Amino acid sequence: MNSSTFVRKASLEDLASLLDLVRELAVYEKAPEAVTATLQDYEKNYLEGVFDALVAVDREGAIVGTAIYYVCFSTWKGRMLYLEDFVVKESLRGLGTGRLLFDALLQEAVNLDCRLVKWQVLEWNEPALNFYGKYQAIIEKEWWNGKIFVG
């Protein structure tokens, strides 16, 4: 990682770059067709406060990573930060940008008075599992995901 890479809160102007990173993540996760949200969806929901994001920015000002999250409520623990997507450009993975971004996300959770941070990771994604392991993250394997598309 270049020492001039830094993390900041995302702005409305960053959303196209966030969507590009999400599409890159979908390709990595072997599901490029699954991204159907548009830039307009991102803009509307960002402006309504549905989600927020942190971005990693390189010395040229390019966004090279993002952590997209929202605050929700755990009936067992209280206020929780849910990490929806966490991605660093493929060419920069393993160079420290992810650690910089994830540390900033954990600090954001503290700033927001959250009691835990929660996310999903694919069982085959060894690099991600190893990354989270460095944080002593608890990877639950007994819960199954459920979802229904309504719109």
Q: Where are the domains of the chain?
A: 6-133
Is there a contact between 42 and 18 (Cβ–Cβ < 8 Å)? yes
| DSSP SS3 for 79 | strand
Is there a contact between 72 and 106 (Cβ–Cβ < 8 Å)? no
- The pLDDT score that the predictor gives to residue 112 is 98
Q: d(Cα 69, Cα 83) in Å, to the nearest integer?
A: 4
- The pLDDT score that the predictor gives to residue 144 is 85
- The pLDDT score that the predictor gives to residue 27 is 95
| Sign of the CA dihedral running 18, 24, 26, 31 | positive
Can you read off the two tokens belonging to residue 95?
């160079």
Mean pLDDT by 10 residues, the chain (151 residues): 84 98 95 97 98 96 97 97 96 93 98 97 93 95 88 81
- The pLDDT score that the predictor gives to residue 62 is 96
- The pLDDT score that the predictor gives to residue 143 is 87
Q: Write the Ramachandran bin of 63: left for phi over 0, alpha for psi from -120 to 50, otherwise beta.
A: beta
- The pLDDT score that the predictor gives to residue 26 is 96
The domain 6-133 belongs to what CATH superfamily?
Gcn5-related N-acetyltransferase (GNAT) (3.40.630.30)
- The pLDDT score that the predictor gives to residue 4 is 86
Residue with tokens 């409305």: 12
Q: d(Cα 147, Cα 17) in Å, to the nearest integer?
A: 27
Count of C-beta atoms within a 10 Å radius of residue 93: 16
Q: d(Cα 39, Cα 100) in Å, to the nearest integer?
A: 26
Q: Write the Ramachandran bin of 103: left for phi over 0, alpha for psi from -120 to 50, otherwise beta.
A: alpha
Is there a contact between 89 and 28 (Cβ–Cβ < 8 Å)? no
Residue with tokens 């608890």: 138
